[in-house]
A and B are shown apart, each in its own frame.
Chain A
Amino acid sequence: MRTEVGKVEQRQGLAAGGKSGETIAKSMLEKFPNGVKVTSTAANRVNATVDRGLLYKVAEFLKNEMDFEHVTSVSGVDWYPENRMQAVFHITSYANRVTAEIIVDLPRDSPEVDSVTPLWGGANWNERETYDMFGIIFKGHPRLERILTAPGSDYFPYRKDFAGGRRV
Chain B
Amino acid sequence: MSEMWLNMGPQHPMTHGLWNLRVKIDGETITEAEPVVGYLHRGWEKLTETRTFPQIIPMADRLCYGASLSWSHCYCLTAEKLLDVEVPERAKYIRTIVLEAQRIGSHLMWLAALGTDLGSYTVFLYPMRERELFLDLMQDLCGARLTYNYPRIGGVRNDVPANFERDFTRVLNHFEKKIPDYEALCDESTVFHMRMDDVGKLTAEQAINLGVTGPNLRGSGVDYDIRRDDPYDAYSQIDFNVCVQKSCDAYARYRVRMDELYESVNIIRQAIKDMPKGPVRVKPPRNAVKGKSDWAHTEDPRGEAFMYIIGNGDDHPYRLKVRSPIFVTVSAAAWMLKGYKVADVPAIMGSVDMCLGETDR
- Whether chains A and B associate is yes
Residue numbers of A with Cβ under 8 A of B are 1, 3, 5-8, 10-11, 13, 44, 69-73, 75, 77-78, 88, 90, 94, 97, 99, 101, 120-126, 129, 133, 147-150, 157-158, 164, 167-168
Please measure, in the bound complex, the distance between the C-alpha atom of A11 and the C-alpha atom of B321, giving whole angstroms: 28
Is B41 within 8 A of A73, CB to CB?
Answer: no
Is A125 within 8 A of B209, CB to CB?
Answer: no
Is B50 within 8 A of A168, CB to CB?
Answer: yes
Q: Which of B37, B211, B224 contacts A122 (CB 8 A)?
A: B211
Is A148 within 8 A of B209, CB to CB?
Answer: no
Determine whether B319 belongs to the interface, using a CB cutoff of 8 Å to chain A: yes
Is A72 within 8 A of B229, CB to CB?
Answer: no
Is A94 within 8 A of B321, CB to CB?
Answer: no
Among residues of A, the one whose C-beta sits closest to the C-beta of B318 is A77
B216 to chain A, nearest CB (A): 12
Is A167 within 8 A of B50, CB to CB?
Answer: yes
B307 to chain A, nearest CB (A): 9
Residues of B within 8 A of A168 (CB): 47, 50
Is B360 within 8 A of A148, CB to CB?
Answer: yes
Is B211 within 8 A of A121, CB to CB?
Answer: yes
Is A122 within 8 A of B204, CB to CB?
Answer: no
Sample (10) of A-B pairs whose CB atoms are under 8 Å apart: A1-B208, A8-B229, A70-B208, A88-B308, A90-B308, A94-B208, A97-B229, A121-B211, A123-B211, A148-B360
B296 to chain A, nearest CB (A): 11
If A3-B208, A10-B228 touch, whether A122 touches B328 (CB-CB below 8 Å) is yes
Q: Which of A97, A124, A147 contacts B37 (CB 8 A)?
A: A147
B331 to chain A, nearest CB (A): 4
Determine whether B129 belongs to the interface, using a CB cutoff of 8 Å to chain A: no
Please measure, in the bound complex, the distance between the C-alpha atom of A22 and the C-alpha atom of B180, giving whole angstroms: 47
Is B223 within 8 A of A75, CB to CB?
Answer: no
8 Å CB contacts to A: which residues of B275-301?
295, 297
Q: Which of A3, A73, A120 contacts B204 (CB 8 A)?
A: A3
Q: Which of A72, A75, A123, A167 contacts B297 (CB 8 A)?
A: A72
Q: Which of B37, B43, B332 contacts A121 (CB 8 A)?
A: B332
Apart from A5-B223, A75-B323, A122-B331: 6 A-B pairs, beta carbons within 8 A: A8-B223, A69-B209, A72-B304, A75-B308, A94-B224, A121-B331
Among residues of A, the one whose C-beta sits closest to the C-beta of B291 is A79
If A3-B222, A5-B223 touch, whether A149 touches B41 (CB-CB below 8 Å) is yes
Residues of B within 8 A of A99 (CB): 230, 297
If A8-B223, A149-B38 touch, whether A122 touches B210 (CB-CB below 8 Å) is yes
Please measure, in the bound complex, the distance between the C-alpha atom of A129 and the C-alpha atom of B324, giving whole angstroms: 12
Residues of A within 8 A of B306 (CB): 72-73, 90
Is A148 within 8 A of B223, CB to CB?
Answer: no
Is B228 within 8 A of A5, CB to CB?
Answer: no
Most buried by A among B239, B308, B332: B308
8 Å CB contacts to A: which residues of B211-234?
211-213, 221-224, 228-231
> Chain B, 181-220, contact with A by CB distance < 8 Å: what is the 0/1 string?
0000000000000000000000011001111110000000
Please measure, in the bound complex, the distance between the C-alpha atom of A72 and the C-alpha atom of B327, giving whole angstroms: 12
B121 to chain A, nearest CB (A): 34
Determine whether B120 belongs to the interface, using a CB cutoff of 8 Å to chain A: no
Determine whether B310 belongs to the interface, using a CB cutoff of 8 Å to chain A: yes
Please measure, in the bound complex, the distance between the C-alpha atom of A122 and the C-alpha atom of B306, giving whole angstroms: 14
Residues of A within 8 A of B38 (CB): 147-150
Please measure, in the bound complex, the distance between the C-alpha atom of A10 and the C-alpha atom of B204, giving whole angstroms: 22
Is B230 within 8 A of A148, CB to CB?
Answer: no
Please measure, in the bound complex, the distance between the C-alpha atom of A16 and the C-alpha atom of B50, giving whole angstroms: 45
